[in-house]
Structure 1
Amino acid sequence: MTPNVYPLTFLSARRRALQHLALSAAAVVGVSGCGFALRKAPTFAFQSVRIAGSETTPIARELRAALITNGLTVITTATPASTPAEVVLTVTVDQRERIAVGQTAAGQVRELQLRTRFIFRMRTANEKDLIQDTELLLERDLSFSETAVLSKAAEEELLYRDMASDVVQQVVRRMAAVKSL
């Protein structure tokens, strides 16, 4: 009878797994002791919000969906006027800009700058200002090539969607920062 002998590679693999587990546990303990915590879902001081102004833009649609996801009742112009809202979020500017910032000697565009400008304010139903007029301006740079127009158009749209998601997250965080009406 031969005794059970583990190959050396099995033992070293097991040892590496235990070392990895110990390092992971140490990292979790170290991070939890420094005050780090994942961002939690926002809590709001109100239950319903009316969105006024630009309601049909991509950012406004995504903002409406985010607020509904976070448990708020969202009222728009399509909702009957008899439905009261605790606060009114007014979107005054929601625009996209596309500017050529780099050109070749022949005048061909080589670099674009994409901008998303979003200005909003939030008031109670009694016209008390909760958030003054706030402008969010995001910029992204995009190289451009006439030989890859379709792929650059798709990249441009992707960058605009990314900026819209960023604007929505910033607006939701600012709304959640309001602690009393």
Structure 2
Amino acid sequence: MTVTRRTLLLATLGSIALAGCGFALRRPAELPFSKLAISGFKPNSPMAQALRQSLPRSVTVVAQPKDADVVLLAIEDRFDKTVAASTAAGQVREFRLRVTLRFRLDRPDGSPQLPETQLELTRDMSYDETAALAKQVEEAGLVREMRMDLAQQLLQMLAATGRPVSQATAPAAG
């Protein structure tokens, strides 16, 4: 067998094994609404931008809550950076990055559909003052990924909790 044929064989076997175990790529959340109003975020909020980017094409962001099927109200959108580890001489060796989003989902009339909920992600990042610029770029990338992860978690929650009762909890007819 040549290397090319061996590689092809291994790739095929790997695909069959993954298909057999139920592996599937993550698909966008199927949301049970088509119009969403987003409020409570500061202007140009990176978290709000991450959420907009994560929304499936079937959902339109509307400006007025009265025009929406549901309203996402941000109560808290926060980023924290703290020292997680330092040397005996006081030099920082690790930072802890934390992104927090507290929100609630309301109906257009203001009644709650999903009570106040908090999502939070934390990542530790090593630090070396001799590579400060590179670490600054790394931090920006980590925080961007954390916000996108939170947005995906939020959409998964909305997909699971926003279904009408007849679809989400009704027993199958039999």
Distance 1:163 1:82 in 2: 27
Contact 2:37/2:65, CA 8 A, preserved across alignment: no
TM-aligned CA distance change 1:34 to 1:52, over 3 Å = same
Work out which of the residue numbers 51, 56, 63 in structure 2 matches 1:63.
Answer: 51
Gap runs ≥5 in structure 2: 166-174
Contact 1:41/1:70, CA 8 A, preserved across alignment: no
SS in 2 for 1:31: helix
TM-aligned CA distance change 1:121 to 1:82, over 3 Å = closer
How many residues align? The count is 163
Segments of 4+ moved more than 6 angstroms:
none
TM-score normalised according to structure 2 size: 0.80
In structure 1, the partner of 2:101 is 118
Q: Does 1:139 align with 2:126?
A: no
In structure 1, the partner of 2:81 is 98
RMSD across aligned C-alpha pairs, in angstroms?
2.4
In structure 2, the partner of 1:180 is 164
Contact 1:42/1:70, CA 8 A, preserved across alignment: no
Contact 1:53/1:91, CA 8 A, preserved across alignment: yes
Q: Does 1:52 align with 2:39?
A: yes
Distance 2:69 2:53 in 1: 18
Distance 1:23 1:148 in 2: 40
Distance 1:146 1:47 in 2: 48
Say which one has the larger Rg: 1
Gap runs ≥5 in structure 1: 1-11
After superposition, give the CA deviation of every residue in 1:34-60 in whole Å (9 maximum; x if it has no partner): 333333332221110110101531011
SS in 2 for 1:127: coil
Q: CA deviation at 1:20?
A: 5.5
Distance 2:46 2:65 in 1: 27
TM-score normalised according to structure 1 size: 0.78
Percent identical among aligned pairs is 35
Work out which of the residue numbers 166, 169, 178 in structure 1 matches 2:149.
Answer: 166
